[in-house]
Structure 1
């Protein structure tokens, strides 16, 4: 019996250490060219087509075309998909034709056959998010391991690291019914929200990454239709500041924004499918923090290209009709 108990304990201990070290695994970058010294990715939100034929919008199509061009010319190791992956009510099952119609057959370029790291938005939560997670087993590039998760990368040939923490802000704050201009009214499951928050705090506190990004669907700060998310101002912003996050990336508002506040960069990249020039919350963000905004229909859509080098992170805001609109540089975390 003692022998059995000891071996059982050994198995349990192995399980515990596996659970705690699992998130620290480093992602493998596909491109192994020996002289590279940066990681590059695209950030795209609110790209989820339409629930009826042709299942995509003109903005989504033009944005997809420009993404492929930028990925080819500037390089891209992966895409961060920032939620609202399928309008208007997510998908019902892993067999939904929407995966094909709105994703696989739209982002067809060779340069976009790279990992897509996915998180869920409010429209996804109107359907079956678990089905989107399960689709990871059906697609080579769709990576959605759980509602929230952590990605770790080594920046090639630099000795530096990049961590991206992917959140489920709908589980954290509650769902919002867009058409009623609803704000999230608090989480559906308080316990689930607190669990995620504790996990996040633990990951942030432990992070020694040189660049630390957090991504979610809802904005912390936004000047547009939805404006700042109270719940995230209250629950997330203090953690971003305390643990010196480099930037927070999100979608939800259908435009491109860059806001800088308390040494954190706030990126809104929600122009993948629709465009909205609305700036009704311009005075609801701290004065002087808005560095860039565009939601004009004439841009035909847009996304963000990021490059993380040895000690800087370059963000380029790109419009679908083929020019970059704004560029900014963030420096690595000072952990001393």
Structure 2
């Protein structure tokens, strides 16, 4: 047990966070004034043949169509990338079976910015980080990291802070009550929290997004994550975050509270219509929910312009379900 803890501690120290830099959107950004991306969680197939689900396949196909028609600069992969126990090494065939061989369209050959979920932490997350050296599009530089983008042909900035909510709050057992039991390494959880607060306090981005695996608010099976309500929720409010994006519950949700948009996009592989925690979120905050099998799966498309962020929820069977508009941060209030 001691050796295991030492190994994890060393691995996290090596890849705990990522130097701040601006991402290059390439030549395609020269004649436009927005950034577009997809976000999907819980897309990680199955650990036995055929290694994918019907929902994952249908969702991948619709993602490719939306990316081609609406445009997408990158994808946010919000955890549970490989069911049920992540991967065991960088040589795992699951990278090919569940990722490379599924999201094959040219429109999806774009950067995938990745965070780990609870199922990934049941395996070797460092192997997923290392796979960044094997794939042109798999971008997982550290357990948690920051992405910065210049919105093309404007003076505006989009920042996305990618969190490891499992390191922050602990792992969870989906077959029990689903709430994380506290971090395995308290010092590393605190290190991430200090880093997060520092990055949010320093941020002058016009749009500030935070992304992780566990939800802050959710009406579904896992419900609100108490750890994140204590540690993250106050920071989202204090520093006027635009939105928080996550997965974990296997459906699509949009909840709006205290000016922050809470996006649950966990319908990439399974679907769950469970709403057992509907009364555990602020009254009137739920704007949209679906987990119906008839959708065949789902994801979100976001467009960030110089003065607003448009979020559209898509179902895999080919139509949009809900759209909302978020304003840029007002740092002077």
Structure 2 unmatched ranges of 5 or more? 1-17
- Cα distance in 2 for partners of 1:300, 1:203 equals 37
TM superposition score normalised by structure 1: 0.93
CA distance in 1: counterparts of 2:254 and 2:26, whole angstroms:
29
Distance 1:249 1:277 in 2: 19
> Match of 1:93?
89
SS of corresponding position for 1:283: helix
Cα deviations across residues 166-201 of structure 1 (Å, max 9, x unaligned)?
A: 000000000001112331011110000000000000
CA distance in 2, matches of 1:251, 1:217: 5
Matches within 5 A, 1:208-287: 208-287=204-283
CA distance in structure 2 between the partners assigned to 1:196 and 1:24 by the alignment = 15
Pair 1:317-2:313 in alignment: yes
- In the alignment, which residue of structure 2 is the partner of 1:115? 111
- Contact 1:221 1:227 survives alignment (8 Å): yes
**Superposition deviation, residue 165 in structure 1:** 0.1
Asked if the contact 1:305–1:316 (Cα under 8 Å) also holds between the matched residues in 2, the reply is: yes
2:144 is the counterpart of 1:148 = yes
**1:72 aligned to 68, 88, 104, which one?**
68
Give a deviation string over 1:276-316, Cα, whole Å, max 9, x none: 00000000000000000000000000000000001000000
- The aligned residue for residue 327 of structure 1 is 323
**Match for residue 59 of structure 1 among 52, 55, 69:** 55
Distance 2:51 2:269 in 1: 11
TM-score for the superposition, normalised by structure 2: 0.94
SS of residue paired to 2:263: strand
Give 5+ residue unaligned stretches, structure 1. Answer: 1-21
Decide whether the 8 Å contact of 1:30 with 1:77 is kept in 2: no
User: RMSD of the alignment, in Å?
Assistant: 0.7
Aligned to 1:15: none
- Alignment match, 1:200: 196
The answer to whether the 8 A contact 2:29-2:152 is kept is no
- 2:177 aligns to what? 181
| Partner Cα separation in structure 1 for residue 165 and residue 216 of structure 2 | 10
Q: Retained in 2: the 8 A contact 1:23–1:151?
A: no
Q: Which one of 46, 50, 53 corresponds to residue 50 of structure 1?
A: 46
SS in 1 for 2:221: coil
Q: Which residue of 1 aligns with 2:163?
A: 167
Structure 2 counterpart SS, 1:273: coil
Largest Rg, 1 or 2: 1
Measured in 1, the distance between the counterparts of 2:122 and 2:311 equals 31
For 2:10, the equivalent position in structure 1 comes to none
How many angstroms apart in 1 are the aligned matches of 2:308 and 2:57?
A: 31
Distance between the aligned counterparts of 2:100 and 2:29, measured in 1?
27
2:146 alignment partner, SS class: strand
1:137 alignment partner in structure 2: 133
Q: Is the 8 A contact 2:39 2:76 kept in 1?
A: yes
Shift of 1:30: 2.8
> Is the 1:148–1:167 Cα contact (8 Å) retained in structure 2?
yes
Q: How do residues 32-43 of structure 1 correspond to structure 2 at under 5 angstroms?
A: 32-43=28-39
1:190-229 C-alpha deviation (Å, 9 max, x unpaired): 0000000000000000000000000000000000000000
Structure 2 SS opposite 1:23: coil
